[in-house]
Amino acid sequence: MADQVQDNPSRKRFELSVEGIVAFVDYERREGGVFALTHTEVPEALGGKGVGSRLVKGSLELVRAQGGKVVPCCSFISAYVEKHPEYQDLLA
């Protein structure tokens, strides 16, 4: 259904392309490898397909692979981390 989540540093966001449509998480990089995850955008055409959850999971995994931490500034990301304790260790 989709490729994996990729970092697009020039646009300061993590992206997931599904059916030719891009969903994304905007971020701000802060000191100490901290990513402030500020906004999640899943186009309406992808709604209800679990794309948002896959996008957030992949974004968190990319941060983890870089040894970073996150500040969830977006309610969707905050709710995801709260429901998935395996990502609590990423909180800054």
Q: What is the model's pLDDT at position 73?
A: 97
Residues of the chain below pLDDT 50: 1-2
User: Residue 23, class by beta-carbon neighbours within 10 Å (0-12 exposed, 13-18 middle, 19+ buried)?
Assistant: buried
Q: What is the model's pLDDT at position 3?
A: 64
**Ordered DSSP codes for 71-91:** EE-SHHHHHHHHH-GGGGGGB
Homologous superfamily of 6-90 = Gcn5-related N-acetyltransferase (GNAT) (3.40.630.30)
Q: What is the model's pLDDT at position 87?
A: 97
Q: How far apart are CA 30 and CA 90, in angstroms?
A: 14
Q: What is the model's pLDDT at position 2?
A: 44
Q: How far apart are CA 63 and CA 23, in angstroms?
A: 17
Cα distance from N-terminal residue to C-terminal residue, the chain: 32
